[in-house]
Amino acid sequence: MKLRKAAALFLAALMLLSLAACGGGGGKDETTDAVAEGETGGGEEGGESTGGTFKLGTFLQLTGANSVAGNESNNTLDMCIDYINEQGGFNGATIEKIVYDTQGSPEEAVKVAARLLEEDVDAIVGSVNSAEILAAGQQINDAGVFMMGLGTANTWMAEDWPYVFRATVNNANLATNTVAMLEEAGYTTVAIVNGQDDASLSTADVFEELCGEAGIEVLTRESYQTTDTDFSAQVASIVAQDPQCVYMTCSGEHIGPFVKQLRQGGYKGVLFSKEIMAMRDAEIAGDDNAKYTAASYPYVIYKDVESCDDPEIKEVLQMYVDRYGEMPTTEVVYRVWDTMMVMWEATKIAGSNESDDIVAAMPEVKVEGLGGPLTYDDGTREGYHTSNDWIYIGDGKNKEFSDWLAEDYEAYKTETGREY
Amino acid sequence: MRMLIQLIITGLALGGVYSLISMGYSLIYKASGLMTFAQGDILTVGAFLGLTFYRFLKLPYIVALLLTMAVAFIIGFLLEKGVIRKLLNKNVNAIYIVLATIAVSYIFQNGAQAIWSSKVEYFPSVFSTDSVAVLGVNVQPESLLCIGASMICMILLHFFMTKTRIGTSMRAAAMDSMAAESCGINVSLNTGITWGIAAGIAAIGGIFIGPMYGVYVTLGSKLGTKGFAGAVMGGYGNMYGAMVGGLLLGLLETLVAGYISSELRNLFAYIILIIFLFVKPTGIFNEQAIQDV
């Protein structure tokens, strides 16, 4: 009898846990953020006061193995919405967020995007997973709803979707910069490792093509599936080929374990990544293993607020820490901040919250983003046109790649015993 | 040659993890005649438990390992008593047991996310050194631990099942539960213990691979299916078969990925499973669990 009771309790606990875990799954979390009193008179920035609400739809991966970026995006969206609402909202309209969980599935993204459109949202922000934007973008564009994507793949921005914009980086452009970094260091051979998700695959394709044009030989190209945990075969192949450097388009939960296994397998060379090394990835890889991972990216991730030397980024990070009590572990906080600032500026220029008016205003938008200027006057619907080159030097610090080559490259060679 | 050595060692290490999962499958089948698909996710739970005891509570590694095994044993035992036994008492078709274990595997995944995190968690290395040189190639020390652990588990399980009273009664219960009960064997208790041991073994795999791969909620899902394939290759229900099948699968897929293409790795593993099911369903050790009819 006792055993039956214990079993029943165990099952009940399991059910509760399951329900809790699935809480975000496809469910709606409508957040009406606090609004500053007296805001109906218009925002401080002088936007036209129209009152009412602005329904901002968003679809993000909030559950599953790779949901940390989605959850940090969701947090940052709430933070930005509060910040903008306190200053009058979009042309006096209070922003209300409606969020759906994609569970990391493009199919689910299509469904939740349709639900957002059914709910007559005024604009949409999402997702950090490019495959989800690629799947859901067509219907959003066809519905004539202004959208800003948070993913970094080149594929969905290559579509003819005039209502879809971006205030984050384009990996294909960054691949160009990364090839330039290889040339700057004098590398002539490289190995490529890519995941099978949209952003990883498309970026690796572009990188390989650019290497061919630059005369850099790709000694081997290895891939893995999103469910893989063991990379020993890929590591053995790379170690055997011993390229001068390795380019990784890993993302999510894979980059930390891959870097760790690669280093433990004996490869000590410089690693180039499509994304900046996140602190959580450096921790999983081991700080020493994560050293010498370079990337072209507008901004870097900091260990704590104090170590941030960029005043604008520092302010945003401080807001995040004040609100959530912890540092964000990925750079999506910058992506979302920039995205919301661009959208805010566009609504101010448009003097309206209608999608067609916002789209028409976008070419005039000029915002100083966290990673540099964001402009949309070239017809690409891309905001960032410049980047910065970094290399992780350990202890949560990144250094300008050119400076590192000039000042620390010889020390690196001595430390690793490598010629390159 | 250097690459071959590295692939063999890392392939055997991966195979060692598969073996630990395969052994759970085989043990449950051998002792209860049932199949489960929750072993991979129990491995995930084991990794999270190990993380909690070792990293968060800062207990000594050996204590963390023993506690992880103990908690996993209880989870496995309660799983049998709370779900499997209930269904068996209803005399349901065996397929419902399999479906129930699939449902339980998702509950474990979501439960792990709710309790711990959806982030990849860092599991500190047990060893002071990051890699060790074996025959001139660098390998992760945890890899060697996995190979050793699977061998020790195989030997202990074999002796447990063949030389101990409880092991003998488990096998008797699996062969003919009614006859076993009439001989005074508590079949229900035996089956519960079997599921508990299988969960404990999977949890060992979880705590060992945590430092290699990091710990996250889907860590064991693919490993679970590979472990199943290893069990079939070796001979479903055979302890030695589970060990050999798991090691062989890990080795072969690593060699394919290294010498042919990393894209073909998983494809190759499942093609081997299909080939075995068609050509040699009784596996390498000719276990009669899955027979050609």
Cβ proximity of A146 and A355 under 8 Å: yes
Q: How far is B43 from chain A (nearest CA, A)?
A: 13
Number of domains chain B contains: 1
Predicted local distance difference test score (pLDDT) of residue B79: 95
Residue A265 contacts B where some CB pair is shorter than 8 Å: yes
Nearest to A224 among B106, B131, B262 (CB): B262
Most B CBs within 10 Å, among A230, A258, A262, A327, to test the B interface: A230
Residue with tokens 């302010």: A315
Give the residue from chain A lying closest to B141, CA to CA: A264
Q: Any CB–CB contact under 8 A between A105 and chain B? A: no
Angle between helices B187-213 and B39-51 (to 10 degrees): 60
- Collapsed DSSP state (helix, strand, coil) of residue B218: coil
- Residue to mutate among A17, A129, A225, A229, with most B CBs inside 10 A, is A229
B42 touches chain A (CB under 8 A): no
Show residues of chain B in contact with A237, CB under 8 Å.
3, 257-258, 262
Decide if B57 touches A, using CB distance below 8 A.
Answer: no
> Which pLDDT value is given to residue A45?
42
Fold agreement (A23-169+312-375, A172-297+388-416): yes
Largest CA distance in chain A: 75
**How many residues are given for chain A?**
420
| Residues B218, A227: C-beta atoms closer than 8 Å | yes
B136 touches chain A (CB under 8 A): no
- Does the CB of B188 have a partner CB in chain A at under 8 Å? no
Distant-in-sequence, close-in-space partners of A289: CB < 8 Å, separation ≥ 6: A259, A260, A262, A263, A264, B130
Q: Give me the count of residues in chain B.
A: 293
Closest CB to B7: pick one of A14, A236, A264.
A236
Contact between chains at A229 and B10 (C-beta distance less than 8 A):
no
Q: What is the DSSP letter of A67?
A: T
pLDDT at B239 (0 to 100): 83
Q: Does A263 touch chain B (CB under 8 A)?
A: yes
End-to-end CA distance of chain A: 69
Full pLDDT tens readout for chain B, 293 residues: 788 988 998 899 889 989 989 999 988 888 778 889 999 999 999 999 999 999 999 999 999 999 999 999 999 999 999 999 999 888 888 889 999 999 999 999 889 988 987 778 888 888 877 788 888 888 888 888 888 888 898 888 888 888 888 888 888 887 787 888 888 888 888 889 989 999 999 999 999 988 888 898 888 888 899 999 999 999 988 888 998 999 999 999 999 999 998 888 889 889 999 999 999 999 998 887 655 44
Domain membership flag for residue B200:
yes
Residues of chain A whose pLDDT is less than 70?
1-50, 65, 252
- C-alpha closest to that of B199 among B34, B71, B14: B71
The enclosing H or E element of B245 equals: helix B239-259
Taking a C-beta distance cutoff of 8 angstroms, is the pair A141, A164 a contact? yes
Q: Checking phi first, is residue B273 left (phi over 0); if not, alpha (psi -120 to 50) or beta?
A: alpha
State the pairing for strand pair A270-273/A388-394. Answer: unpaired
Interface membership of B258 toward A (CB under 8 Å): yes
Output the DSSP codes for A113-171.
Answer: HHHHHHTT-SEEEE-SSHHHHHHHHHHHHHTT-EEEE----STGGGS--TTEEESS--H
Alpha-carbon span A401 to A23, nearest angstrom: 43
Measure in Å the smallest separation between the Cα of B99 and chain A Cα atoms.
16
Q: Is residue B288 part of a domain?
A: no
For A226, the 3-state DSSP assignment is coil
Residue with tokens 């790779």: A66
Query: Please, what is the angle between helix B2-32 and helix B239-259, to 10°?
Result: 150
* Residue B265 in domain: no
pLDDT in the model for residue A9: 46
The CA distance from B61 to A328, in Å, is: 30
Output the six-digit token pair for A52.
Answer: 């009412």
> Can you say whether residue A195 is alpha, beta or left, with left for phi > 0 and alpha for psi between -120 and 50 degrees?
beta
* Separation between Cα atoms, residue A331 and residue A324, nearest integer Å: 16
Angstrom distances, CA of residue B50 to CA of A25, A281, B8, B209, B216: 28, 20, 28, 10, 12
Contact criterion met (CB < 8 Å) for A225 and B266: yes
Of B10, B118, B130, the CB nearest to A64: B118
**B103 touching chain A per CB within 8 A:** no
Do the beta carbons of residue A221 and residue A246 sit within 8 Å?
A: no
Among the partner-chain residues A237, A256, A266, the one whose CB lies closest to the CB of B214 is A256
Across the interface, of A20, A237, A253, the residue whose CB is closest to B114 is A20
Q: What is the β-pairing status of strands B132-134 and A372-375?
A: unpaired
Residue in the structure block whose two tokens are 């891959």: A258
Q: Which residues of B touch A17 (CB under 8 A)?
A: 107, 110-111, 114-115
Of residues B3, B109, B263, nearest to A236 (C-beta) = B3
> Minimal CA–CA distance to A293: which of A311, A312, A314, A278?
A278
The residue type at A5: K
Range of the domain at B172: 2-220
Question: Angle at which helices B2-32 and B39-51 pack, to 10 degrees?
Answer: 110
Residue B119 lies in a domain: yes
Quote the CA–CA distance of B119 and B151 in Å, as a whole number: 32
Tell me the three state secondary structure of residue A31: strand
Question: Which of B213, B253, B261, B267 should be substituted to probe chain A, the one whose Cβ sees the most A Cβ atoms within 10 Å?
Answer: B213
CATH domain A23-169+312-375 topology: Rossmann fold (3.40.50)
d(Cα A247, Cα A268) in Å, to the nearest integer?
13
Q: Which CATH number fits domain A172-297+388-416: 3.10.450.50, 3.30.420.10, 3.40.50.2300, 3.40.50.1370?
A: 3.40.50.2300
Question: Which distant-in-sequence residues (6+ apart) come within 8 Å of B293 by Cβ?
Answer: none
Please answer yes or no on whether A265 and B110 come within 8 Å at the CB atom: no
CA distance B292 to chain A (A): 32
Let me know: does A328 contact A76? Beta carbons within 8 Å: yes
Contact list in B for residue A235 (CB cut-off 8 A) is 6, 10
A363 touches chain B (CB under 8 A): no
- Chain A CB contacts of B114 below 8 Å: 17-18, 20-21
Question: Beta-strand (E) ranges in B127-172?
Answer: 132-134, 137-139
Interface test with A, best of B14, B77, B78 (most A CBs within 10 A): B78
- What is the model's pLDDT at position A391? 97
> Rounded CA gap, B46 and B68, in Å?
6
How many Cβ atoms are within 10 Å of B260's Cβ, its own excluded? 12
* Domain spans of chain A, in order of start: 23-169+312-375, 172-297+388-416
Beta bridge partners of A44: none
Pair A54, A123: CB distance under 8 Å: yes
Q: Looking at the complex, does the CB of residue A284 fall below 8 Å from at least one CB of chain B? A: yes
CA distance B37 to B202: 12
In a domain, residue B238? The reply is no
Of B43, B207, B190, whose CA–CA distance to B124 is shortest?
Answer: B207
Q: Minimal Cα distance from A68: which residue of B?
A: B119
Q: Is residue B83 part of a domain?
A: yes
For residue B27, what is the enclosing H or E element? helix B2-32
Of A105, A51, A56, A10, residue with least CA distance to A336: A56
- Nearest Cα to Cα of residue B288 among B174, B166, B163: B174
Q: Is the residue at B293 inside a domain?
A: no
DSSP-assigned letter for residue A91: T
